[in-house]
Amino acid sequence: MGWIQSFVVVSFVFVLLLPVGKSEAEDVIEALVEFMKKLVPGSMQNIPNWGWNATSDPCLNNWHGVTCDTGNKTVKNIVLEQLNLSGTVDFESVCKETNLLLLSLKYNNLSGSLPQEISNCKQLKLLYLNGNKFSGNLPDSLHDLTNLVRIDISNNELSGNLPDMSRNTGLSTFLAQNNRFTGELPNFNYRLLEDFDVSNNDLTGQIPDDTGKFGARSFAGNPRLCGKVLPNACPVGKKKKKRSHDFLIYSGYAVLALIVLVLVAILFLKKKAKHEDNEFSSDSYTKKGFKSTKDSSFSSESKTGHTRSEFSITSAENGGVSASLVVLSSPVEAVNGMRFEDLLRAPAELIGRGKHGSLYKVLPSGGGVPLVVKRIKDWEISRVEFKKRMQRIDQVKHPKVLPLVAYYCSKQEKLLVYEFQQNGSLSKLLHGSQNGQIFDWGSRLNIASNMAEALAFMHKELKDDGIAHGNIKSSNILLTKDMDSCVSEYGLMVVDNGSQNSNAFNVDVYGFGVVLLELVTGKAVQSNGVDLAKWVNSVVKEEWTGEVFDKALVVEGANEERMVALLQIALKCINDSPGMDQVATMIASLKEEEERSMASSGP
């Protein structure tokens, strides 16, 4: 009987040692409660099943915003977004005691700095702190988060230098735009990154040569930053100091030489202009000006043998070639120094013709990147208003909006110049040959999120100017050489008062909703005479929602719940005309839900 008594005693002690009603350790719960107190949740505590107290368990009692592992033993994700939290973040408590994979506190009013203790979150993969009021310098210890995959600290008040993240070989996203960062760009594994943005800060120095896939839009808004993708060229090397009197002497020589060159150039151009009037306008120009032609898409052969397409028509005002090409803050070297006459001589290929104009691919005679020239017709707008509109659009930069690099305007001609995007448009990718490219659910959701964010930004910045896009469609969403998406031709259309909705910004939202329908259905806007928006509305009304999804997505095994969510956002855009900022927030939340799901299912 002795061994039985011993067994009973041991069993009793073992039972006493078992935690009762708790899956997480007491110190973890205490740390989480302290973390929440400093966030100043206020009235949030009145939310049913709020939790976040020492008498309950975060996993077993489903605390608000908390997700645990599959065994409900350990807290893995904390997502507290758009809750108007206004305190500070106790990284020391939450990072010391937990093994978080995801921390998202985006779109609150949190303030304070990010402490060195953030490095205690060793397992962290996803960190979203964007849309708050964080200030001060980023901690150097941030690079110790070697498991970090995505970090978004954009739209805060952070300053100082960016940390060296070269040790973070798994990092795919680093977003730090719209802050106050200074200093030079540190080391990143740029070739491994998928998304990178440090625009609208105060960074200085040269952009590293290995930034590769990231163009000017990722670095715009940093006036003292230089590099081959930016208008600011970096100095070749340090120049030797010269004595002041030597400098004045040489400057004088340079000014005199420049004056002589300008005078010679003016005389040369006057003679050349007269000669070219007779050369390239012989079949359409008379002593009284251009004679009208029935076919506005005529072409003529130049002396070089290249075809000069319809954008080669020039204005007869002032007796000859009109005002020169206006080059904006262009990162495209081929455009810098280019004249209107250079466009006329360059080989041009007609690649598209639409209701409001034609599109040409142009190869600059000096080599370099190919350009696209958009010729607009039937746009009743004065030269003054046109110039004002183009310059205003040029002032508003967003990484996902294709910048205008140059324009030309006369009474008869309005031409716009962009950098040619070699991978075509979203429309071509969806409805044409994909050439073996995989266009999965994640890629489509990423494009939807990027485009919504870009349009929301442009609407906000240009609202007072009344400049919307006016013609949002999948063919105006282009794909860069790295298959990154960007909105093209922003602000080139004015919505008619007689349209279905005279509010140009609402027209953009409607058009974007149709693009979302194309993404989830894989169908074109018009197919066999059937309007896509009307068809989807009718199918959903009959509760056959599952029938609308692209079969490729279904075969892929894309999450149906999130596909339905994106479909509902699309229908909201079409039927209710919400603000573009609201649309962007909904899609961003959906994208992050997808990322959380991927992170939770990962190793």
Residues annotated in a binding site for ATP: 374
DSSP states of 446-490: HHHHHHHHHHHHHHHHHTTTT---S---GGGEEE-TTS-EEE-ST
Q: What is the DSSP letter of 175?
A: E
> Two tokens at 397?
């930069």
**Which residue type does 239 have?**
K
Angle, helix 441-462 to helix 580-601, in steps of 10 degrees: 150
- 3-state SS, residue 193: coil
| Structure letter (DSSP) for residue 402 | P
Contact predicate 443/591, CB 8 Å: no
Q: Using H for helix, E for strand and C for coil, what is the string for 57-79?
A: CCCCCCCCCEEECCCCCCEEEEE
Sign of the Cα pseudo-torsion (308, 387, 462, 573, in order)? negative
Q: If phi over 0 gives left and psi between -120 and 50 gives alpha, with beta otherwise, what is residue 178? A: left
Report angle CA 167, 219, 202 to the nearest 5 degrees.
90
Whole-number Å distance between alpha carbons of 96 and 414: 62
Residues found in the chain: 603
Give the integer Cα–Cα distance in Å for 400 and 402.
6
Residue tagged 């988060």 (tokens): 145
Task: Give yes or no for a contact between 153 and 105, defined as CB atoms under 8 angstroms apart.
Answer: no
Q: Which residue is it, tokens 């050439």?
A: 435
Q: Specify binding-site residues.
A: 374
Q: Based on the number of CB atoms within 10 Å of its own CB, is 373 exposed (0-12), middle (13-18) or buried (19 or more)?
A: buried
Cβ pair 400, 485 in contact under 8 A? yes
Cα separation, 580 vs 453, whole angstroms: 8
b/e per residue 516-546 (b: at least 16 CB within 10 A): bbbbbbbbebeeeeeebbeebeeebeeeebe
**DSSP H helix total and E strand total for the chain:** 13, 26
Q: Which amino acid is at 543?
A: E
Interatomic CA distance for residues 307 and 286, integer angstroms? 22
